[in-house]
A and B are shown apart, each in its own frame.
Chain A
Amino acid sequence: MEIPHEVTPRRDTGLYNAKLGVWLFLASEVMLFGGLFSAYIFLRVGIQDGVDNPWPWGLNVHKDFVWLGFINTLVLIASSVGVVFAWVALKERNWKLYQVYMYAVIGCAVIFMCLKGIEYNSKLNHHFGIKLKDNSVMEGELVNKTDRIRFEGATASVSLQGAVPVFIKSIPKGEFPIFKVTEGPGSEEGVEIHSDSELKAWFHKERRAISAKLTEERKRYRAELASGVANPTPVSVSSSAKLTSSEPFVLNANPRKVVLHSDSVVNFKDGSKVEGKLISDDVEFIVHEVDLQLVLPQKQRESIVWDVINDEGAKQQFFEQQDAEYRHLREYYEPRGEVIPEKMLRGHILNLHDVHLGGHHGDDHGDDHHDAVHKSEPKPSAEGAHEEAAHEHEDDHSISVPRDQIKFMGNHGPRYGNYYAIYFTMTALHGLHVIGGALVLLFFTVFGKKLYLKNPEHLANRIEVGGLFWHFVDLIWIFLFPLMYLL
């Protein structure tokens, strides 16, 4: 059986099946990216000034990486040209040339993804922001790369229902203590647990036992209800257990998995809880920029960010820059007989500036303070690598930010705000398209010979269709580049 119009176009529509198919697919892709662009506009336009996070300026976010975006645009354009030339080469029945062009195209895709990787890496691993309680924001880097609450655990309480307790993920690899079940629903007291896999096994076993017990109890209860017992004893099956460690164990808890913690206890999101002693929950941080867009102008000088940074020089530096920018704006608007728009006054031009700690006068004072802080910090011993990192940044003057002053923090990953969210979502989705398209084209390049010998026109059609998809991917990037990097 043969499907009509697989290779030759149908006369009245002028299209062969695959071409029609890919155009239809592209139409749905237009709607897909159309939806995402709608979201971009909706979120950007819908920002409430002074309440929501301001939309950062693409140029500000990417700085040096704007060049990467630029190069990537050229790379994609070049690859698009490569595809059409490969297609022409097939039409001219030049197999060698076809292969050359196709490998060039795939090379472009690889370059594109590598540059993308560099960009992602910088955002995810080298940029961090902290928003304080009064909405002032510090941008910079974390000293330890990842943010953890450091805790010394003694006992853990878990519920034996639902999913495996999350606290076990916070115990560093190879430091799993020996737990003893000291309180439990009954049967299993005194059992020793030596590793996380043992803990999981124990948990599952107990969970089964409890649900069996619950079933029994409920049966009894319902039977009593049915037989009209006046006050049936309510069902009560305890499902909590307590694990005690023989010696204190290290707990590096991910703050996002923790709901509440104090000096003596860490409560995890899923209800499990570890008791012991808090080592430190301060965030060690190197400030590069301060952003006061969400702080009213008259409150900026009293913002808690200055208490946290505790460096007169940095503060002075910030406001000097602000004054200079203000003069520039006046110079722009006043000759035109306009007042500076509210949006400008609240925007990043006036309110986002670099700061250098320990720069100007106030130097000694600031240094003293930080040294004191540093010394009082016991460094986790196993982390030699981090010590080195800290050395590198020695003259960056890290500060420690008390956690109770922090409203929100994170690396410049998708979580950091709607700009980052849509940036990562769209570029990642676009990247997936690049990878998918490149794989298909690679397939046609490597395994195309057989089809070429059988029916070169068929292969040319396939390249045309693959090329249509590829151009579309290029086309999306043409919009992403200005919207994400420049505007």
Chain B
Amino acid sequence: MAESTHDWGKHKKSYLIVFGALCFCTCLTLALGIFAPFDLGPPGPTPADFVIGLAVACFKASLVGLIFMHLNHERGLIYKLLVFTFLFSLGLMALTLFAGADPILEQYDTLESTKGKLMEKL
């Protein structure tokens, strides 16, 4: 990078814009949480609240990542690294959840009852 010729003003401006956006989003999150008119559905957190709250958080996170952490003009290597990392951490979350959500619920106590159930299904 050639320091002297580089136009840092543009950078600074974009940093300030992102700062504003982040502050705005934070207020938005807070409003969603505490002001009833913004709250979707019955009181207390509902699935919709989760989706919106986390979507805003993700948006903020991507702003920080792309602009502040310069991912927007980073090389492919870093992307590859991050993609795999995210895959694995999502795998960790999702698979443990699935494993928790898929227990052996019924006790197939006799072979007969299993057969019966199978027949029902067919």
Contacting B42 at CB < 8 Å: which of A24, A344, A471, A486? A344
Residues from 73 to 107 in B contacting A, C-beta threshold 8 Å: 75, 77-78, 81-82, 85-86, 88-90, 92-93, 96-97, 100-101
Chain B residue contacts of A348, Cβ below 8 A: 44
Determine whether A42 belongs to the interface, using a CB cutoff of 8 Å to chain B: yes
Contacting A34 at CB < 8 Å: which of B16, B93, B101? B93
| Contact of B57 with A91 in the complex, beta carbons under 8 Å | no
Residues from 450 to 483 in A contacting B, C-beta threshold 8 Å: 457, 464, 467-468, 471-472, 474-475, 478-479, 481-483
Output the least CB separation between B21 and chain A (Å). 10
Chain B residue contacts of A349, Cβ below 8 A: 42-44
Interface of B is mostly: helix
Question: Chain B interface residue count: which class?
Answer: 35 or more
| Contact of B97 with A41 in the complex, beta carbons under 8 Å | yes
Which residue of A is nearest B18, CB measured? A81
| Contact of B49 with A487 in the complex, beta carbons under 8 Å | yes
Determine whether A74 belongs to the interface, using a CB cutoff of 8 Å to chain B: yes
Output the least CB separation between B34 and chain A (Å). 6
Chain B residue contacts of A486, Cβ below 8 A: 29-30, 32-34, 45, 53
Given A471-B69, A475-B65, A485-B33, A27:B92 Cβ within 8 A: no
Output the least CB separation between A383 and chain B (Å). 40
Chain A residue contacts of B92, Cβ below 8 A: 31, 34-35, 38
| Contact of B93 with A41 in the complex, beta carbons under 8 Å | yes
Question: Chain A interface residue count: which class?
Answer: 35 or more
Residues from 2 to 60 in B contacting A, C-beta threshold 8 Å: 3, 6, 8, 11-12, 15-16, 18-19, 22-23, 26, 29-30, 32-34, 41-45, 49-50, 53-54, 56-57, 60
Contacting B8 at CB < 8 Å: which of A30, A70, A88, A485? A88
Determine whether A265 belongs to the interface, using a CB cutoff of 8 Å to chain B: no
Determine whether A329 belongs to the interface, using a CB cutoff of 8 Å to chain B: yes
| Contact of A91 with B6 in the complex, beta carbons under 8 Å | yes
| Contact of A42 with B96 in the complex, beta carbons under 8 Å | yes
Chain A residue contacts of B100, Cβ below 8 A: 42, 45-46
Output the least CB separation between A293 and chain B (Å). 12
| Contact of B42 with A329 in the complex, beta carbons under 8 Å | yes
